[in-house]
Structure 1
Amino acid sequence: MKKELNFELNILPVLDILSVLICFLLLTAVWMQLGTIDTKQAIGDNSTAGAKNPPSLWVVLQKDGTVQLSLRDVPQAKNLEDSVAKTAQGVNWNTLESKIQALRNKWPDLKTSIVRPEARASYGDVIRIMDQLKKNQFDGVGLSPLG
């Protein structure tokens, strides 16, 4: 005696869940905004062999909030170095901005800057330094790998 197998799969609940998930994904995609910073390779481009690096400001951010400023490839400056001491809250933002403005006013052709954070430096501080450089008309703001 043979038993007849008649099995029906009800896929209606699966389709209901799938339609709700698709609507949810479409709605969240509309509300999501991505923040970006435009950066480019400011120094070390291999496209022109033998070209000199442009005058640049190197900003080294240490993990405790101390910031080292140094000028490179500026003929009149001879590798000028300066530092901004940390405060109890971390980076001394007012002093840093005034020193960046003073350097920019003294050397108007200085348009390239490299930010080099230490391994445990705050990501928010790195972004804020890059914002200050952009605000002070540094066109080529680059990010150096951890040193």
Structure 2
Amino acid sequence: MTALVVSPVVPPAVADARQAGQVNGRRALPVAQLAPVAGRSPVCGMAAIDCNGRITESTVIPALGWAPGTCVDIRVCGGLVLVTADPHAVFRVTQPGQVRLPAAVRQWYGLTSGSRVLLVADPAAGRLVVHPPAALHTMITEFHAAVLGGEAA
């Protein structure tokens, strides 16, 4: 029995390593192209709700410049909780810079002590958006379906 010899497959030489997708002599990994961010970026963070419905986060809430005692309006809109400064509102930022979600809002979204939420502050608009877990699940599932062609695993 004689062995078959298979000739090697050699890719054509490329004059410029950048054309071959190489960086520093190594092949670069593909990177998704993201849309450019116009203007100021939002400030994001995760926080857990305490037993009294308070949200404490050391970066996001201070980015809005809300001092303790600032009156805030808390509304539900499209599955999200919107918090904005309003001198006529009944809710206030507490001494340590916490925002307390009303019991009705927490019950509406099934938020209990320890529930984690995504906080997105838009300092230019003076708005804090609280994304409950159900809203995150919906957004992620829809995004994955769009990007992965329906394979939202």
The answer to whether TM tops 0.5 is: no
Greater share of strand = 2
TM-score, scaled to structure 2: 0.24
